[in-house]
């Protein structure tokens, strides 16, 4: 199994314990995600220490205030590291107001250009206010206009109304623990519809622990519970989904 999106630096317990627990659960590869100047180097250092860990570097939309040429240079430099396999997470978050929409847009557009220059996938964060779709819709439009052939990962997929649009574009949809919650019927419907060669699973740890671990801080080892839930809605065995997402992640991240 793989975890296509985690934040090791934010999880409870030591990095060594987290990686060991993941390996013990059968999680062979994980992508730890940097979110800004403080966490990007930490993500890369984690990848350097552990064979099973790879990194993504970027600036989270909630921290987009002050994004400038120095931030572009930092992400570009770290993006050249041999164990960095993606750029982001980036995108738009209109649910929180910790960064202005204009700052978010500027950081998003710059990171698309970095991903294009480095020929790396881009990890997308999208969050709308309840009942709205403006952030998701704008993200799709921006990627259509600027991303070119860059592989796109819609992390913690949260736009079930756009699952067909994502499939048409050949984008990857990664499902987190919230897809296993009893109330998440639309997400599970979307998970059943994603093409076999474009589905991924993740933890987004330490957030969104899957239903069997609800109430606990999430960690990469728990991605197996999310995978079991996704396999069930897709009508396949856990082993078949495991082979599918491992192959997809290998093709996407080259690990």
Closest CA to 136 of 145, 146, 127: 127
pLDDT value of position 154: 98
Q: What domains, with CATH codes, occur in the chain?
A: 2-253 (3.20.20.140)
Q: What is the pLDDT of residues 36-64, one digit of tens each?
A: 999 999 999 999 999 999 999 999 999 99
- Paired strand residues for 124: 90, 154
Is the pLDDT confidence value at 147 over 90? yes
**H-helix segments, the chain:** 15-24, 40-49, 69-79, 101-118, 134-146, 163-169, 185-193, 223-234, 238-253
| DSSP secondary structure, 1-50, as one string | -EEEEE-GGGSSS-HHHHHHHHHHTT--EEEEE--STTTHHHHHHHHHH-
Q: Given this model, what pLDDT does residue 131 score?
A: 85
- What is the tens place of the pLDDT at every residue in 221-244? 999 999 999 999 999 999 999 999
Average pLDDT, rounded, for the chain:
97
Q: What is the pLDDT of residues 159-171, one digit of tens each?
A: 999 999 999 999 9
The answer to whether the CB of 91 falls within 8 A of the CB of 59 is no
pTM for the full predicted model = 0.97
Q: How far apart are CA 162 and CA 160, in angstroms?
A: 5
Q: Which of 243, 241, 215 is nearest to 226 (CA)?
A: 241
User: Average pLDDT for residues 126-152, to the nearest whole number?
Assistant: 96
């Amino acid at each position: 199994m793989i975890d296509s999106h985690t934040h090791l630096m934010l999880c409870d317990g030591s990095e060594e314990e987290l990686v060991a627990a993941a390996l013990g659960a059968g999680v062979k590869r994980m992508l730890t995600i940097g979110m800004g100047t403080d966490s990007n180097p930490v993500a890369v250092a984690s990848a350097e220490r552990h064979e099973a860990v790879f990194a993504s570097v970027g600036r989270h939309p909630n921290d987009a205030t002050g994004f400038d040429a120095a931030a572009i240079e930092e992400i570009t430099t770290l993006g050249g590291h041999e164990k960095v396999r993606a750029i982001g997470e980036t995108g738009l978050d209109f649910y929180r107001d910790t960064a202005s929409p204009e700052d978010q847009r500027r950081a998003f557009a710059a990171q698309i250009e970095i991903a294009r220059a480095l020929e790396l996938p881009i990890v997308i964060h999208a969050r709308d206010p309840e009942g709205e779709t403006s952030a998701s819709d704008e993200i799709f439009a921006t990627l259509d206009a600027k991303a070119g052939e860059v592989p796109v990962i819609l992390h913690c997929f949260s736009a079930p109304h756009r699952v067909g649009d994502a499939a048409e574009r050949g984008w990857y949809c990664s499902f987190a623990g919230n897809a296993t919650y009893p109330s998440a019927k639309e997400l599970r419907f979307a998970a059943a519809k994603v093409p076999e060669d474009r589905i991924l699973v993740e933890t987004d740890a330490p957030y969104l622990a899957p239903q069997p671990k609800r109430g606990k801080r999430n960690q990469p080892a728990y991605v197996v519970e999310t995978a079991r839930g996704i396999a069930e809605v897709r009508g396949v065995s856990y082993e078949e989904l495991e082979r599918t997402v491992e192959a997809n992640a290998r093709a996407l991240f080259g690990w």
